[in-house]
Structure 1
Amino acid sequence: MRNHHISRHNSFYAIGLSYKKADAEVRGKFSLDVPAIDCLMAQGKQEGIDGLLAISTCNRTELYGFAQHPFQLIKLLCDQTQGSVEEFQNVAYVYKNHDAISHMFKVGTGLDSQILGDFEIISQIKQGFYRAKKHEMTNPFLERLCNSVIQASKRIKNETELSSGATSVAFASVRYILDTIPNISNKNILLFGTGKIGRNTCENLIKHSDNSHITLINRTREKAEAIAGKFQLTVKDYGELQTEIRKADILVVATGAQLPTVSKALIYSKKPLLILDLSVPKNVSDDVRELDNVSLVHLDQLSQVTDETLTRRRKFVPKAEEIIEHVKKDFLKWLETRKFAPVINALKEKLKVMKAEEIDFQSKKLSDFNTDQAEIISERIIQKITKQFANHLKKSNGDMDDSLELIQKVFQLEIESKWADS
């Protein structure tokens, strides 16, 4: 059995990198697919990390977990990805305890997203938690925290219009295509790969452009057919990629490959071709730019397409922050209580032992001793004493740890410290 008690010196950390400081290439080096997350969990477990959550999207990769030093988490991430510690340090952020909790709320509610109010991330947190649970790497703290973030996200969705109006990278791609390509309805569009953003782009294109000339190619044909059926697209084999690129006016690349899948060598057509690379890591090599007839646009450039929708969304940020504060306050209250509950319970037990000994002693000594009355009175005194201590602990802002230590010393209580200092 692994010891699930966190030592006094463990803290809760959030470490990661995002689109704010890391470009697509660097994010690509640190991206984690499901097998990598599974390896990371297994390695973390082996190294005695207690409680670990990993999220990786095209905009960020983050680890949340308990460690004695954040470097333990940074090393885990670098061991399981192509990125080095030096690269990580150039673009990274590290948050501790309360700041790490606040960061997770901000991320999970779309306030930290590349496109404000993008709620994709909450499903990543749910999946991340599910994977952690599968590897027995969760604990009551992480479970409660994830549930609180999910609750805040739900409330923001229902009570504000933070994510109203269509705006997402997929929407931005469609806007870009519609703004740059005239007579879109007559153009041939090729979607290579079945990544989420690519699929959404296609769905939006069909809605906005009356275009029926959309072809889909994926390495595994079954996957392509499942999606094509939904949108009435034509499916072609992976082997026909080169031929189909020659016919295309617009190529949307949305594969999940770790290395570029489209290079200059694949492109023979002389007519204008617009390529949108909606993959992280990048899936179109830079050498494509050498071709005069090709224009290449990557996800990061598209995300800067802001419009009225975003301006409108910003108005709802204060309300969203208010909801976060409210939910976070409940979580922190639970955390504080959880921190001192073991001490209060141990104190109660200690006082009860004293009471039992005293009642036993007095009942033997005094002939007309009323055990029932003595029980009632002493029980009430114990309640009052423990309540005083609990109230003191609730109020002690920064010095709770000192108070807890003092109570344990005075009453000689034996308790395994369960939670991180905060």
Structure 2
Amino acid sequence: MALLTLGINHRTAPVEIRERVAFTPERMAEAFSELRAATGASEAGILSTCNRTELYLAGDDDCAPALLRWLAGFHDLDAADLENVIYVHRDSDAVRHMMRVAAGLDSMVLGEPQILGQLKDAYALAREHNATGAFLSRLFEHTFSVAKRVRTETAIGENPVSVAYASVSMAHQIFADMSRNKALLIGAGKTIELVSRHLADAGVRDFLVANRTLERAQTLAEIHGGKGIVLSEIPDHLADVDIVISSTASPLPILGKGAVERALKKRKHRPYFMVDIAVPRDIEPEVGALADVYLYTVDDLRQVIEENVRSREGAAREAENLIASGVQDFLDQLRALDAVSTLKVFRSRAESLRDAETEKALRALRNGADPETALRSLARGLTNKLLHQPSTQVRKAMAEGRTEVADFLRELYQLEMLDADEPTTTEKL
């Protein structure tokens, strides 16, 4: 069975194109219904995230051109507009690609874990729409197993590789149980939004978001059940928070030493963890000199990030080896299954020939034939029927110069070549 993957991702296309080929949940049923009909594929899967859209098809033929036309048509695009931004993987390359995606090796952030969950959701959705069969189901399940090995046997996902992630990871060095801590996020841009997600994943449940515009602060805070405030209200709430992470475009510091000193007195010197991601800085450098304040800047984080990127690159090489092994294991499984199917057909045909010759012999016996004659006729007829087609094909192959067929026949039946002068069994008889 042929396997095909056609996709578009953050490396091949800008977001303006990626968002146009994304599949919304509301249209998934329609997509699965049309996809197999348009391509002739027997099985299908769809992965659609902010960074990639990938289609997985299994069938008897290579349907890449039809698949591209369908993808473009489904999203009201010209196929020519997608030709230069798509990638296509076939068979073993498609297997390898899916495993690399699941392990986070093809992600914008090397080793990020979210993609594995997204791929599992894609598989569940395909099953929900009865779009997968034995082949794709086996591939998805094996892929998840390989990705799990990559996660458990390498350090691919252990170290943060973004400023936002590094900030939250460093907070763990100060606070062991972050579910007890309240966070103040200053700013409401993409970096702070990412910080908020990482904090929530780390266990933080109490959020305060301060921003120049209250509406934006409230929108972000409400995602996590928190509260939004304007920047001028920060001193009123500073004593109640434990974690402060700031990233704004302000040309002047937002949080000064005096405000932090006053808050520390109210807190009875319980420690602060602060990260100033902004350039120019949002928090006065003098704040870092205060007792019980752990203040880090973006420069402090950069060294951590660079070290962790190098660490992940080493883990990525280990992951590639695991994936290569996983691809080979999957292909071996397919060959074993194909051998079983072939042997079933082979046995079924042999049994049909046997039954036909047996019935012929029984009819002869019922008509009064000599038993010995009928038995010899059965043996001769069965032998001829079993050997006729293989003999014909071997002679044809040898005439075409494919001598390996004869070699395989000798290996298959463990035959030893007869001496030219030695009579065959028939001649001996």
Q: So what's the TM-score if we normalise by structure 2?
A: 0.57
Residue 187 of structure 1: how far off its partner (Å)? 7.1
* Paired position in structure 2 for 1:109: 103
* Paired position in structure 1 for 2:186: 189
Instruction: Give the residue type in structure 2 aligned to 1:309.
Output: N
Q: Quick one: which of 131, 155, 165 aligns to 2:159? A: 165
Unpaired stretches in structure 1, ≥5 consecutive residues: 1-5, 176-184, 237-242, 254-266, 274-292, 294-304, 390-398, 404-422
Residue 123 of structure 1: how far off its partner (Å)? 1.1
* Paired position in structure 2 for 1:227: 224
Residue 45 of structure 1: how far off its partner (Å)? 3.9
Within 1, Cα distance between the matches of 2:333 and 2:316? Answer: 26
Contact residue 218 and residue 224 of structure 1 kept, 8 A: no
Residue 51 of structure 1: how far off its partner (Å)? 1.3
* Paired position in structure 2 for 1:61: 53
Contact residue 209 and residue 221 of structure 2 kept, 8 A: no
Aligned to 1:13, the other structure's residue is in SS state: strand
Instruction: Give the residue type in structure 1 aligned to 2:52.
Output: R
Residue 26 of structure 1: how far off its partner (Å)? 2.7
Instruction: Give the residue type in structure 1 aligned to 2:197.
Output: N
Residue 156 of structure 1: how far off its partner (Å)? 1.1
1:22 and 2:13 matched:
yes
* Paired position in structure 1 for 2:306: 307
Contact residue 188 and residue 250 of structure 1 kept, 8 A: yes
Contact residue 78 and residue 84 of structure 1 kept, 8 A: yes
For the structure 1 residues 308 and 83, does the alpha-carbon distance in structure 2 shift closer, same or farther, using more than 3 Å as the test?
Answer: farther
Residue 145 of structure 1: how far off its partner (Å)? 0.4
Within 2, Cα distance between the matches of 1:213 and 1:20? Answer: 35
Q: Name which structure has the greater RCO, CA cutoff 8 Å, separation 6+.
A: 1
The structure that has the greater radius of gyration is 2
* Paired position in structure 2 for 1:51: 43
Residue 155 of structure 1: how far off its partner (Å)? 0.9
Q: Quick one: which of 124, 133, 137 aligns to 2:131? A: 137
1:72 and 2:66 matched:
yes
For the structure 1 residues 205 and 355, does the alpha-carbon distance in structure 2 shift closer, same or farther, using more than 3 Å as the test?
Answer: closer
* Paired position in structure 2 for 1:300: none
Contact residue 22 and residue 48 of structure 2 kept, 8 A: yes
For the structure 1 residues 191 and 51, does the alpha-carbon distance in structure 2 shift closer, same or farther, using more than 3 Å as the test?
Answer: farther
Within 2, Cα distance between the matches of 1:13 and 1:165? Answer: 33
RMSD: 5.1
Residue 196 of structure 1: how far off its partner (Å)? 8.9
Residue 146 of structure 1: how far off its partner (Å)? 0.3
Aligned to 1:63, the other structure's residue is in SS state: strand
* Paired position in structure 2 for 1:408: none
Contact residue 207 and residue 224 of structure 2 kept, 8 A: no
Aligned to 2:7, the other structure's residue is in SS state: strand
> What is the aligned residue count?
313
* Paired position in structure 2 for 1:337: 336
Instruction: Give the residue type in structure 2 aligned to 1:65.
Output: L
Q: Deviations over 1:112-160 (max 9, x none)?
A: 1112111211111111111111111111110000001100001111111
Within 1, Cα distance between the matches of 2:344 and 2:183? Answer: 74
Unpaired stretches in structure 2, ≥5 consecutive residues: 170-181, 235-243, 255-279, 281-303, 394-403, 409-429
Q: So what's the TM-score if we normalise by structure 1?
A: 0.58
Contact residue 148 and residue 331 of structure 1 kept, 8 A: yes
Aligned to 1:213, the other structure's residue is in SS state: strand
